[in-house]
Amino acid sequence: MMEHYVAIILVAIGTYLARFLPIYFNERFKRLKGIDEFLTYSSTALISALFVTSLLSFPVKLKNISISIVALAFVFVSYKKWKNLGFSVLIGVTAHILLSFLLNCIVCAV
């Protein structure tokens, strides 16, 4: 349907402009006093916001959140030990798979 193609193109243009215009006009932003400090705090807040919103979904399911929190503990410890981003994520994903599998087995057995 033509309507689908038009919507896809309009959203693509809107999304692209939101990403492109601040980069294109960055010289104007640089002239703003204190912008560097503002943006460094902003980036930390954004990562924290992305973390929280990816971790939790409502209504919270105890089983899911428990698995995620334990897997995150593995991520945290491995990152503190090896300081390797990709390796820590892989450890977290592996722990998540194993914990999910283990919990499913326990639930089935009970």
Instruction: Point out which residues bind other proteins (CB under 8 A).
Output: 3-5, 7-12, 14-16, 18-24, 26, 29-30, 34-56, 58, 64, 68, 71-72, 75-76, 79-80, 85-86, 88-90, 92-93, 96-97, 100-101, 104
CB 57 to other proteins: min, Å: 8
Minimum CB distance to other proteins smaller for 80 or for 109 = 80
Q: Which are the contacts of 4, defined by CB distance < 8 A and separation ≥ 6?
A: none
Cα 36 to Cα 19, 29, 40: the distances in Å are 19, 9, 6
User: Which residue has tokens 């193109």?
Assistant: 9
CB 81 to other proteins: min, Å: 12
How far apart CA 85 and CA 31 sit, in angstroms, is 34
